[in-house]
Structures are given as structure tokens and as C-alpha cells.
Structure 1
Amino acid sequence: MPRKLKLEGLQAELSAVELLLKQAIEVGDPIGEMQLTHRKQKIENEISQTDQHPEMTASVALFFWWRTSLRF
């Protein structure tokens, strides 16, 4: 997977986990808070590892973006 896509995916996942963590703290869910804190740390570690290790192989990502128009 291209580095940029991997980083964007991890950053999106981190944002979602941070939101869920905030909600868990607000409702007083200690188990959820503990699990989400652990997951947040894992994601942050993955992001830092991805930043530290440059890709050694070339990769290409093709994006096809079109609007389908099916009419019956």
C-alpha cells in the first residue's frame, strides 16, 4: 500500500478512536476507555513507524472517480 494512503487511513482511524475515547470518558466507561487508550497508542506507534521508515519499493495507486448515470 502506498505510504500516503496508509498514513491517511491511520490518521482517520486515530480521529475515530479519539472521538470514541472522548465519549467513553464522558459516559464513565472505564473498560472502553482502557481499550480505546490502548488502541490509540498502537495507532500512534504505527504512524510514527510509518513516518520513520521510507518505502524502498515503488508503488502506484490508481483512482477512478466517476459518477455513474444509469437511467431506466
Structure 2
Amino acid sequence: LTDEKRLQRYICILDPTNAWTVWDCEMEMPASLRGQLLTGRSKERAEAARVILERIHKSKMDGGKPNRLLD
């Protein structure tokens, strides 16, 4: 992994079926959003979900302060 990827909690990985999974590096398992595992996605949908999850994670790390990127 690149240094940038190591700093991220979530990354997108290509699975053996040529679909994308959003991987939770902290939990070491596929990520979920609204109760749905983020597996078997198109690259665009996986990346969009990854961005949302990173923003949520960073917002929590900032003590729950509003995140301008979500506005």
C-alpha cells in the first residue's frame, strides 16, 4: 500500500470477479453502509461509498464537528 492508502481507513479493492469492494482497514473486513456490505460494486459506486465513509470517520475523529465536505 502507498503511504496515502495507509492513512485511510477505507480503500477500494478489485476482487477476483472484477467487481469492487470497499475494505475497512481498521476492522479488516468489507465495509458496510446502512447495513449493506460494500462488495460487488462498480468502481464508481465503490469509490463514492469510500469517500462517504472516510468523511464520516474523519468527522468522528474531529469530535463530531460539522464537516464542510458534507454540506
Relative to the length of structure 1, the TM-score reads 0.37
The structure with the larger Rg is 1
Greater relative contact order (Cα 8 A, min sep 6): structure 1 or 2? 1
TM-score (ref. length: structure 2): 0.37
